[in-house]
Chains A and B, each alone.
Chain A
Amino acid sequence: GAVVSQHPSWVICKSGTSVKIECRSLDFQATTMFWYRQFPKQSLMLMATSNEGSKATYEQGVEKDKFLINHASLTLSTLTVTSAHPEDSSFYICSAPPPFQETQYFGPGTRLLVL
């Protein structure tokens, strides 16, 4: 299957700082990527849809000014958690559907811990 990578795999930061998470499609171009987060013992929740060359669309309850998404190329989307707080600590996962395929593939996830 297609490969999606994320960087970093884990990050620890102080409250009030910003953290950038990268999602890359390694062997295909992705005009769309999806960002999810997962709290302990819960399922994945969609945060936003990242569209190459245009603004991201956010799910209800997700603050667009706090979770900045940039999809600057067909292989890279970034999620920046601005002014992170302990409640932002979570597992952040991206996915991307390869063109002309019926499936989509997920990255390995980024675990964020805000102290």
Chain B
Amino acid sequence: DAKTTQPPSMDCAEGRAANLPCNHSTISGNEYVYWYRQIHSQGPQYIIHGLKNNETNEMASLIITEDRKSSTLILPHATLRDTAVYYCIVSTAGNTPLVFGKGTRLSVIA
């Protein structure tokens, strides 16, 4: 079973920041927080991951709380192409399969 809890759906206005929350209260010390997204009929796309510190890349920012029990993925300026299902996954790094929950369906609205 997935170790994360996410809201089933969210809407965001185009051009605004999309903040997607994730709860992972049972995360272990050696587990990372990963975010992937899946656009309709495609394979999951890697977005970002982190262990303890906040992370930023060209796609998004990841904010992890100090107790690591929750995190937020931030898409700073959402576009229509960001409409997808976003998955928050906790896992150890390396050769470990990822366990997918139901994710959050983000709809970016013009």
Question: Which residues of chain A from 55 to 113 have any CB-CB distance to chain B below 8 Å in the complex?
Answer: 91, 93, 95, 97, 101-109, 111
Interface on chain B toward A: helix, strand, loop, or mixed SS? Answer: loop
Q: Which of B18-26, B75-83, B93-101 contacts A (4 or more CB under 8 A)?
A: B93-101
Extra contacts, 7 of them, besides A95-B44, A102-B94, A109-B41 (Cβ < 8 A), are A4-B43, A45-B100, A49-B97, A95-B97, A101-B93, A102-B93, A111-B41
Chain A count of residues within 8 A CB distance of the other chain: 26
B34 in complex: contacting residue of A6, A101, A103, CB < 8 Å = A103
Which B residues are closer than 8 A to A by beta carbons? 32, 34, 36, 41-46, 49, 87, 93-103
Within 8 Å CB of A111, what residues of B? 41
Do A106 and B44 have beta carbons less than 8 Å apart? yes
- Give complex CA distance A34, B89 in Å: 16
Which A residues are closer than 8 A to B by beta carbons? 1, 4, 6, 31-32, 34, 36, 43-46, 49, 91, 93, 95, 97, 101-109, 111
- Give complex CA distance A91, B42 in Å: 9
Within 8 Å CB of B41, what residues of A? 91, 109, 111
Within 8 Å CB of A44, what residues of B? 44, 100
Q: Give 14 CB contacts A-B under 8 Å.
A: A4-B43, A32-B95, A34-B97, A43-B100, A46-B97, A93-B43, A93-B44, A97-B96, A102-B93, A103-B49, A104-B46, A104-B98, A105-B46, A109-B41
- Give complex CA distance A38, B64 in Å: 29
Within 8 Å CB of B102, what residues of A? 43
Residue ID in chain B nearest A108 by CB atoms: B43
Residue ID in chain B nearest A102 by CB atoms: B93
- Top 10 nearest A-B pairs (CB, nearest first) are A102-B93, A106-B43, A32-B95, A44-B100, A43-B100, A109-B43, A106-B44, A34-B97, A108-B43, A46-B97
Within 8 Å CB of B44, what residues of A? 44, 93, 95, 106
Within 8 Å CB of B36, what residues of A? 106
Minimum CB–CB distance for A93 against chain B, Å: 5
